[in-house]
Amino acid sequence: MVELHKVDVVYEDGTKGLKDLDIHIDRGELIYITGNSGAGKTSLLRLLYGDLMPARGVVKLEKKNIGHLKSANVAYLRRDIGVVFQDFKLLEDETVYDNLKLPLEIFYLNKTIIQERIYSLLKQLDLFTHRDFLVRKLSGGEKQRIALARALINDPMLLLADEPTGNLDIKNADKVMDILLNKSKKGTTTLIATHDKRIIKEYPGRIIYLEHGKLTYDSAGGRKIQNA
Ligand SMILES: Nc1ncnc2c1ncn2[C@@H]1O[C@H](COP(=O)(O)OP(=O)(O)OP(=O)(O)O)[C@@H](O)[C@H]1O
Ligand SMILES: [Mg+2]
């Protein structure tokens, strides 16, 4: 469902974020993108979210070339993708509930359905009691889980999570991972950029290791890109 073929990402100042990247990802896979700071993990997630364009190569999502989209089409693409960024990007002066309501309203769902979905997800994340709190009053770990809830609220086909367990203690990290694993089993393709060796060990998934923008290890091994 995701295909990258000979992809380079170059930032405006000439820094190469990704080099000659070949990756093929099937629906429902759970993949850890790992590697040192500056290796290109966030660049890869931004590329798949239409937030960075490749300088070279082909990027395909569901066989559609997303490498050179116009902004209107980027917005359309993002309806099917959930993202959790390193800095959350939540609306700090809105309530937890309203942060989760916004992405649902673009689909014109009725109020009862919206409320059911939000309540159910908040309960899974042990944050139901926080539903009317302003986001700026939450702890880092709580914000992390709300950012995850927002990314999942639309049942995306692709989930991109940048260090989703970064601010969490083991108990909460496990809660987050259980939800991600569950979603991927139901068919959500899940990419997790992480340094967290413990979760990689305890929650099995494919491992892609980046070094200075290059793929140096892929536990899926020699798989070739098709239809590129
Ligand atoms: N906006 C930018 N402009 C110029 N260079 C950038 C920009 N963003 C990232 N880079 C560079 O691109 C390379 C890859 O960065 P990236 O943020 O993808 O790494 P990362 O693996 O996510 O690191 P971390 O673990 O610290 O989050 C680094 O050399 C970084 O300095
Ligand atoms: Mg990063």
Q: Note down pLDDT in tens along the chain; length 228 residues.
A: 999 999 999 999 999 999 999 999 999 999 999 999 999 999 999 999 999 999 999 999 998 898 888 888 888 888 899 999 888 889 999 999 999 999 888 877 889 999 999 999 999 888 999 999 999 999 988 998 999 999 999 899 999 999 999 878 998 899 889 989 989 999 999 999 999 999 999 999 999 999 999 999 999 864 443 433
Structure token digits, residue 25 = 């990802």
Asked whether 28 and 188 are in contact (CB, 8 A), the reply is yes
DSSP class of 224: P
Ligand positioned closest to the Cα atom of 43 = 1
Residue of minimum CA distance from atom 17 in ligand 1: 42
Mutating to test ligand 1, I would choose from 15, 18, 19 the residue with most ligand atoms within 8 A of its C-beta, which is 15
Asked whether 177 and 165 are in contact (CB, 8 A), the reply is yes
Cα of 205 to ligand 1 centre, how many Å? 24
- The Cα 113–Cα 119 span in angstroms is 10
Cα of 114 to ligand 1 centre, how many Å? 36
Domain spans, the chain? 27-52+71-203
Residue of minimum CA distance from atom 12 in ligand 1: 17
The DSSP line for 172-201 is HHHHHHHHHHHHHHTT-EEEEE---HHHHH
Asked whether 191 and 159 are in contact (CB, 8 A), the reply is yes
CATH fold group of domain 27-52+71-203: Rossmann fold (3.40.50)
Residue of minimum CA distance from atom 25 in ligand 1: 37
Q: Which residues line ligand 1 (CB under 6 A)?
A: 11, 13, 15, 17, 35, 37-43
Cα of 9 to ligand 2 centre, how many Å? 14
pLDDT of residue 167: 77
Residue of minimum CA distance from atom 30 in ligand 1: 38
- The Cα 39–Cα 55 span in angstroms is 17
Greatest CA separation for the chain: 50
The DSSP line for 26-52 is -TT-EEEEE-STTSSHHHHHHHHTTSS
Asked whether 6 and 56 are in contact (CB, 8 A), the reply is yes
Cα of 195 to ligand 1 centre, how many Å? 15
pTM greater than 0.85: yes
